[in-house]
Structure 1
Amino acid sequence: MLTLSEVEAAIAFDQPDLRATQQRDMIVVEGTFVVTGGDAAYDPEGPLARYGVRIELSSAYPRIEPRVFETDGRIARDPDHHINGEGDCCVTVWENWLVTAGSTSFSAYLRGPLREYFLGQFWFENTGSWPFGERAHGMSGLEEAYAEALGIPNVRKDLLYLLRFLRQQRSKGHWPCPCGSGRRVRNCHQNDLSAQRQRIKPHIAKSMLARMQPRKGELSRSSF
């Protein structure tokens, strides 16, 4: 479980203009997020930009994604500026980051997705383009990110089937292989799927499936 002392240690090192407090069942981080050109919070050339932020953290982090709000009104509140309908920042596709990141500590989150988000906002303010490219909005962008995390082509029915497979604690050798060959898992990609499950734990696969919200009538290759 994430503790207040862990959060305080992370911001003291990376973002000393932030302050953390325990508020009932969450940790709230507020203050100024400093954006630099390098990985450190401060560098000899000085900061590129500063953004007022409020970060709401569950003690279950990283299982539960932080909610981030830009508090100075500097970023337009619309999807084109990666702000969700409830006003929180669309920082990253969470499950994609959990699967691909080397570390998912709060310090890694500050240095990685959060820094890239605000660096992107600063760059867009000044150039009109996003420095790291931009995914499609909505479900299309979500599916693109999940296909990247899973390492398969972006075909919705295949994404859904593989995620249904990975959400199981154990797989059966007689299940149809997610590769679409028509063969059973035991005679096809059993070892590859076992390795995949080590990267993508069942709770992450379940979260991906929930966010994809399969449409009514969408079929899978099996009933599991």
Structure 2
Amino acid sequence: MPKKSKFEKDFVAVEEFFPKLSYFWNSKSKHWIVKGELDICDAEGDYWETFHIIIGIPQSYPHCVPIVIEKSELIPRDIDWHISKEGACCIDIEHNLIAMSRKGINIDSFIREKVYPYFANQLFKLSEKEYAGKEYKHHFDGIIQYYIEDLNLVSIDTTIHFLERILLKSFIGRNNKCPCGSGKKIKNCHLDEINTIKSIGRKKNRR
């Protein structure tokens, strides 16, 4: 019997909770393809709706960013709904997903913590005309919002200063003063945030 890949082993947990999802290997695109129905229920377990979805997972799994496509066309194809005309879903800020992929994305956690909440929130907006929780802004404004809120940077100016220091390859050592202006050493201030920005890569931060 062929040895199972990490993706196949991880998908066992997905099958237990989402039995209508299955997968296959696409040798042409070198992607694992997850396909099927995603049933959405509320906190009390009452059924809401079913989405037909496809998730493409690159061969580099778990160090990759899966692509999620909604095929049922229940969501309006509009940028304000965080979905493209082709059905590609903006599950989260791209920079956050890239940072997660550096550490390794588990397919079960990804579906539970990113995909399922995304579609549940879309249903909430269809009903209530607004999202239940925090909504990221679009494009560059969304990236700045991500750095300020998720990485605990204090302002737009601080965020831009952090990115400039990294893009210009300025020396940022653990014992240097933190660029946020707190006066503390980086190791006692924004060390984790700076390491996260570095992990995303210069190419993405130039956008």
TM-score range, shorter chain: 0.7 to 0.9
Deviations 1:163-222 (A, max 9, x none): 465687x844786641246x7xxxx42322574169627323x1xx533435xxxxxxxx
**Partners of 1:173 and 1:116 in 2: how far apart?**
37
CA 1:31–1:109: 2 relative to 1, 3 Å? same
Give 2:140's aligned residue. 139
Give 2:112's aligned residue. 111
Are positions 1:74 and 2:87 aligned together? Answer: no
**Partners of 2:146 and 2:117 in 1: how far apart?**
16
Deviations 1:68-108 (A, max 9, x none): 11001111211011113654100112443656xxx942211
Secondary structure of the corresponding residue to residue 47 of structure 2: coil
In structure 1, runs of 5+ residues without a counterpart are: 215-224
In structure 2, runs of 5+ residues without a counterpart are: none
Give 2:185's aligned residue. 189
Give the superposition deviation at 1:113. 1.2
CA 1:55–1:173: 2 relative to 1, 3 Å? closer
Equivalence map 1:57-68=2 (5 Å)? 57-68=57-68
Deviations 1:123-168 (A, max 9, x none): 111111111132222211221012222211231x422432465687
CA 1:3–1:113: 2 relative to 1, 3 Å? same
Are positions 1:27 and 2:32 aligned together? Answer: yes
The percent identity for this pair of structures is: 20
Letter in 2 for 1:90: C
- Tell me the number of residue pairs that the alignment of Structure 1 and Structure 2 aligns: 196
Task: Report the TM-score, using the length of structure 1 for normalisation.
Answer: 0.72
**Partners of 1:198 and 1:62 in 2: how far apart?**
23
The alignment's C-alpha RMSD in Å is 3.2
Give the superposition deviation at 1:52. 0.4
CA contact (8 A) 1:7 1:20 kept: no
